[in-house]
Amino acid sequence: MNETVAGFPVRVYYEDTDASGVAYHANYLRWFERARTEWLRARGYGQERLRLEEGVAFTVSTIEIEYRKPARLDDELQVQTRVAELRRASLIFEQSLLRADGQLLSTARVRIACVDAATFRPKALPPGII
């Protein structure tokens, strides 16, 4: 699977930074999460619709992040997202955070489990996502 979303835009705001103007590391998780949500939305699958109509939810089961260079106040960034592996009840995403000039700041590998929205037990991905 080599399906990439052409960059989910992010800007680093004052509230995202520490006293030195560097983005706090936990914000990277937020930016990666938003990009995965938009990846789903671009395919016609809003998270709330999936929960209500399909009875499924997604949960992060594993995440690995490598911080290479800091994002700084007012930086314009893009998160690229691609599916690296597709399984019956999970997806593995590979994500990259880049500055607008193309400089790689961070990478993430994230396993997302598909679960029954009521019981949180593993459940097969809806056919349309596959």
Active site residues: 18
Biggest distance spanned by C-alpha atoms of the chain: 47
Residues 6+ apart with CB under 8 A from 128: 43, 44, 45
Q: What angle do CA 51, 52, 57 make, to 5 degrees?
A: 5
With H, G, I as helix, E, B as strand and everything else as coil, classify residue 43.
coil
Cβ-in-10-Å burial (0-12, 13-18, 19+) of 84 comes to middle
Distance CA 102, CA 76 (A): 10
